[in-house]
Chains A and B, each alone.
Chain A
Amino acid sequence: MKRIILLAASLALASTAQAAQKLGEVQAQRSPEQVYAAVCGYCHGRNVGPVIRGRGLPAETVEYMVRHGQNAMPAFRPTEVTPAELKALAAWVQTSTADPKEHGR
């Protein structure tokens, strides 16, 4: 039983990468790492979508993909990932190094 509680705790911790917002305030601009953890990283690197880090993907391709969604990928609107967040994210993905813990297919 203890193991199950520990599992629950570690799941909870895993979700703290994004700084929480204050009551009554809209979400502030997030860093590329935060957007990746809160959105992209649930599929890319977890066997749902292909790995995108460490492949030198051109930033403009990343931006296009996010806004249009290819095949099974949903599109993400400027209300979800703001234009400023996307610009920083795309540059970050382009220059990112591969994370050996990620798996793609």
Chain B
Amino acid sequence: MTVNLDRRSLLGAGAASAAAVGLGTAAQAKAVLARGVKKADFAGAVAAMRKVVGDEWVFADPEAVAPWRKSYTPDPYGKHVPVGAVCPETAEQVQAIVKIANQFRQPIWPVSTGKNMGYGQTTTAAPGQMILDLKRMNRIISVDPELCTALLEPGVTYRQLKDYLVENNLPLWIDVPTVGPIASPVGNTLDRGVGYTPYGEHFMVQCGMEVVLADGEILRTGMGSTKNPSAWQAFKWGYGPYLDGLFTQSNFGIVTKMGMWLMPAPPVYKPFVIRHKKMEDVARIVEAMRPLRIANIVPNVVLMMGAAYQLAMFKRRGEVWDGAGPITDEAVAKAAEANNLGMWNTYIALYGTEGMIAESEKIVRAAFAAIDGEVLTQEEVGDNPWFHHHATLMQGGLNLDEIGLARWRGAKEGGGGGGLAWFAPVAPAKGSETKGQVELAKEILGKHGFDYTAAFAIGSRELHHIIALLYDKSDPAEEKRADDCYRELVTGFGERGWASYRTGVHAMDLVAQQFGAVNRAFNAKLKDALDPNHILAPGKSGIL
């Protein structure tokens, strides 16, 4: 595929041509101010913010805000477009910005590195917000090689942290979400994201925060507020109510520093893939995997990748399917076979000494031999781009291979694609849960003409169903269909008690509804108490 890089169409003709080259509808939508905020308030806030961070780090006219408007998520009605961006370099500047936001009632939406791709990037749940872009705050404050901990500012990417560790010969690993190079430990952890080493559950290995509150005060959690905060990154719980959780997937504060634990590099690392041939095998895989995960014989967050998801990473849809409607299981199976993939490809790794790994490997092999799983090592798989990708991830390596997903659909001469919304319902890790979920997902996706491109992940006792809703964002009708489809997924799964662990800005209120009125009212009370002017990220997780 070639990309249309015709300069005239890009630089000359404005909105119409921008749509034609696939910048999406929201990229041209007119941003509206937040309710109750007048033009003069917005102008006042912008002028005051310029005094704090300098003219060049406040962005308020539509063209200048363009980089913050880009998102993979559907926004057919232009409801999620930010009105501006402000980019501080210190916590003191953040405090000053919060005061200005209160004064002018101008809401601000914090992001760390803003690469929440498939969840909204730097767009917002409710309209009229300025993005509080913390990427410039990218100091690695400390790394303790003995305790294996780090303290970071929000703008530090996984790549920056990895470079630091490598260059200083520190034998510590990082754990990355699939898009590590451009994303951040702080942003990912605050949205309760995951990776694929034994430290894959990121909030579990977070330790201590510094938070700018809506009144401009600075709060330190855990041991950070004591006279000797040397245990800040060593002990998570501090004293009294545990506060850190309040600042994840929420809008109760702006995190300006975060502590985290790092895994010591193991002497030996050995990745495996386990292949199964049939769609329905996933139930047996979950049953076999659960005890291994709970007993920590398999120590990492496990991905069971469906063949269609794997194909979508490196293939364009037209290469494997040209029929009407969603791709069939038969077509997926045929393409999987041709590419040395199973219908399910389960990636695990073992970490430790040769002896430890040999013992665990015996147990793993026996468990999967019993359910007709083909257990393969690097040597046995040979040169396989999918194995290479997952073997990289399971050791905290960096790549962006999976961005190819956003080109599965709609790839054509001159562009297309660029639509991706993650739907991620949670269930207990029981095989019996998978059948109903797969059927329901296929039914709803199919109704709207979309493919079932999905994976399952087991953290410990829970099963995440990770469904990539892939669509062509350069086609406004398809963007609208994707939005409708996503809503039906949330409510359809919600009726069966399967609610999401996380969602994009386009569906935050709807997902909050699945968790019930009492929980919503509780969050609303906290919000009123902590942020009475509702200036921090209104709409995040359905909390206004």
Contact = CB atoms under 8 A, between A and B. Distances in A.
Interface in A7-66: 7-8, 11-13, 15-16, 18-21, 23-27, 38-39, 42-43, 46-50, 57-58, 60-61, 64-65
B85 to A, nearest CB: 7
Contacts of B162: 15
A15 B415 CA distance: 30
A80 B182 contact: yes
Given A42-B400, A71-B22, A105 B1 contact: yes
A101 B374 CA distance: 33
Contacts of B391: 7
Most buried by A among B7, B70, B85: B70
Interface residues of A, number: 51
Given A5-B269, A24-B139, A68 B27 contact: yes
A61 B134 CA distance: 27
B167 interface: yes
B78 interface: no
Nearest to B122: A77
B437 interface: no
B182 A39 contact: yes
Nearest to A23: B140
A39 B115 CA distance: 12
B399 interface: yes
Given A20-B168, A21-B160, A46-B401, A39 B21 contact: no
Given A5-B269, A27-B138, A47 B314 contact: yes
B67 A76 contact: yes
Interface in A62-105: 64-65, 67-80, 83, 105
Contact of A74 (B11, B117, B136, B268): B117
B10 A64 contact: yes
Nearest to A50: B3
Contacts of A71: 3, 21-22, 406-407, 415-418, 473-474
Given A68-B70, A70-B21, A4 B269 contact: yes
Contact of A1 (B10, B268, B415): B268
B250 to A, nearest CB: 23
Most buried by A among B5, B59, B397: B5
Contacts of B316: 105
A26 B5 CA distance: 34
A44 B3 CA distance: 12
A74 to B, nearest CB: 6
Interface in B1-24: 1-3, 5, 7, 10-11, 18, 21-23
Contacts of B139: 23-26
Interface string B26-62: 0100000000000000000000000000001001000
B459 interface: no
Interface string B150-161: 000001000110
B514 interface: no
Interface string B81-94: 00001010100000
Contacts of B210: none
A57 B407 CA distance: 22
A19 B167 CA distance: 8
B113 interface: yes
B141 A24 contact: yes
Contact of B163 (A18, A58, A68): A18
A74 B182 contact: yes
A69 B113 contact: no
Nearest to B159: A38
A20 B66 contact: no
A81 to B, nearest CB: 9
Contact of B404 (A3, A15, A48, A76): A48
Contact of B407 (A38, A72, A77, A83): A72
B114 A77 contact: yes
B415 to A, nearest CB: 5
A16 B169 CA distance: 11
A1 B267 CA distance: 11
B395 interface: yes
Contacts of B69: 75
B66 A39 contact: no
19 contacts: A4-B268, A4-B378, A7-B378, A23-B141, A24-B140, A25-B139, A26-B137, A39-B182, A46-B400, A61-B5, A61-B10, A68-B23, A70-B21, A70-B415, A75-B69, A76-B67, A79-B87, A79-B133, A80-B113
Interface of A: 1, 3-5, 7-8, 11-13, 15-16, 18-21, 23-27, 38-39, 42-43, 46-50, 57-58, 60-61, 64-65, 67-80, 83, 105
Given A68-B66, A75-B121, 19 more contacts: A11-B397, A16-B167, A21-B138, A23-B142, A38-B159, A39-B181, A39-B182, A46-B401, A48-B400, A48-B403, A48-B407, A60-B7, A61-B7, A64-B10, A65-B5, A71-B406, A71-B416, A72-B418, A74-B117
